[in-house]
Amino acid sequence: MKVLGVSGSPIKNSNTDRALKLALESTGLETEFIKLKDYTVEPCRACLGCVKTNKCVIKDDGIMLAEKTKEADALIVAGFAPYSSLDARTKAFIERLYPLRHIHGYMAGKPGGAIITCAVPSGSEMLPPACDFGVNAIKFYMMEEGMEFVGEVRIMGNVPCIKCGHGDECKMSGVKMLYGPDATVASVGVGTFEEQPESVAAAIKLGKGIADKLKSK
């Protein structure tokens, strides 16, 4: 049994990547980690060229990645939430799984999970629920394909303004927008997945949950 993990985070060894790797490791099964930044995946053209062949007509890495997804017994999709939405790479990857749908429903019944890193502090009433939007984009894909959604992991990530160098002077800085007028780059600091016990526990639970589902089949 093989579990495929796909990360849309372009940052090297990011919070998203590390959470995904922990979830994969927690399955105790054979796994494969894919970093979408290493591949070229155009979004779906809605041409319906895949409906008879179950294969996309766009000649890029999306065909190979859809084939890997079809062969996997379970799928974990991990992304982040720029502008309160699922990042474009992860979204394009999901769209390119459309060829697996027609007639056969190749993903139906497979366990799946979602991992999202966002920068909006939990409980914020003034800002959009970025993590919810990201998780739901993945969850709804899985539901629409008849997959079994096992669980989700939410990670508090770093607004890029923490690392950009202008964070305390820039009038557009996300540091004050997210954490209030008195917040500074130093007071907020850089957050890591490993320092967030709830997220770590959720990643382990997701991996184990997927393994349990597969073993009970």
Ligand X SMILES: Cc1cc2nc3c(=O)[nH]c(=O)nc-3n(C[C@H](O)[C@H](O)[C@H](O)COP(=O)(O)O)c2cc1C
Which of 181, 208, 199 has its CA nearest to residue 74? 208
To the nearest whole angstrom, how small is the minimum distance from the Cβ of residue 108 to ligand X? Answer: 30
Stretch that binds ligand X, among 46-54, 66-74, 155-163, 203-211 (CB under 6 A): 155-163
To the nearest whole angstrom, how small is the minimum distance from the Cβ of residue 181 to ligand X? Answer: 19
Contact call for residue 92 and ligand X (CB under 6 A) = no
Touching ligand X, residues 101-140 (CB under 6 A): 117-120, 130
Instruction: Pick between residue 66 and residue 86 the one whose CB is nearest to ligand X.
Output: 86
Which of 176, 9, 10, 145 has its CA nearest to residue 77? 9
To the nearest whole angstrom, how small is the minimum distance from the Cβ of residue 122 to ligand X? Answer: 10
Measure the CA–CA gap between 139 and 210, rounded to whole angstroms. 14
Measure the CA–CA gap between 207 and 209, rounded to whole angstroms. 5
Measure the CA–CA gap between 20 and 12, rounded to whole angstroms. 13
Stretch that binds ligand X, among 38-46, 63-71, 75-83, 139-147 (CB under 6 A): 75-83
Q: H helices within the chain, ranges in order? A: 15-27, 62-71, 88-95, 130-144, 174-179, 185-188, 197-215
Binding residue (CB under 6 A) for ligand X from 84, 136, 184, 192: 84
Touching ligand X, residues 14-53 (CB under 6 A): 14-16
Task: State the residues that interact with ligand X by CB under 6 A.
Answer: 9, 11, 14-16, 80-84, 117-120, 130, 157-160
